[in-house]
Amino acid sequence: MIQLVVFLGNYGREYEKTRHNAAWQFADSLPFGELLDWQSKFKGIYADAGIQSLAETLCNKGVIASKDGSPIRIPENAPAKIFFLKPETYMNNSGQSIIELASFFKIKPEEILIVHDELELPIGTVSLKWSGGLGGHNGLRSAKSVLNTADFWRLRFGISKPSGRDIADYVLSPFTADEQIILSQVFPQAAQLLAKILFSTDPARLIPEWGKKKLLA
């Protein structure tokens, strides 16, 4: 099961609304944000949430429930708490932060979910992916280099690939007003997916539905 959720992005006010920081924007919108007491450590800021408190909060807010409407069942092998991390090493060195926290708490690569922006997916699309290529994403490349494997989970937010524009300039530029509206509508549905992932003993079961789901466009 997932024990660590990493939100990739760049540290600094000038990057807050940029496409490369879609994951940080998502982190700031989480429906269980009141449970997260962010602290500076591990070359970033991190927080943790007890699995029981997380389940209760998500159920109380109607984010997730079992099929019969009763409170969600916590799997027997669920971790006691789940960690959340925003690396502050800047995107290209995200792995430095990830490996510090993962090593300290003895978290395996397959227990890590990395949330990031994805050029190859259109805006309004959310995708759950296991392992595979990195799509030229420097944050993922850094994670792979320190974990010595690409076998970790990814939750991807489409930001659309520009035509005839420098990629570096594009990902570091702000979302348009229309794109920002789309994101604000996508995030609640993505939070439901994240909740399902965190309480799933096998996130791969979610891929048929969420492998590449276009929510809005």
Q: Which helix (H) or strand (E) holds 195?
A: helix 177-198
Binding-site residue numbers are 15, 90, 92, 138
Give the CATH number, domain containing residue 63.
3.40.50.1470
Binding-site residue numbers for tRNA are 15, 90, 92, 138
Name the catalytic one among 19, 20, 116, 213: 20
Q: What is the pLDDT of residues 187-205, one digit of tens each?
A: 999 999 999 999 999 999 9
CA 69 to chain centre: 26
DSSP code of 174?
B
Quick one: pLDDT band at residue 155, thresholds 50, 70, 90?
A: very high
- In this prediction, residues 49-59 reach a mean pLDDT of 93
Quick one: pLDDT band at residue 72, thresholds 50, 70, 90?
A: confident
DSSP-based three-state secondary structure for 111:
helix
Report the pLDDT value the prediction gives residue 70, as an integer from 0 to 100: 59
Cβ pair 7, 33 in contact under 8 A:
no
On the question of pLDDT at 217 being above 60, the answer is no
By CB neighbour count within 10 A (0-12 exposed, 13-18 middle, 19+ buried), where does 33 fall? middle
- Choose between 72 and 116: higher pLDDT: 116
Q: How many domains does the chain have?
A: 1
Q: What range does the domain containing 123 cover?
A: 4-214
Q: Let me know if 20 is a catalytic residue.
A: yes
Q: How far is CA 146 from CA 73, 101, 102, 103, 130, in A?
A: 34, 12, 10, 11, 18
- In the block, tokens 């850094």 appear at 142
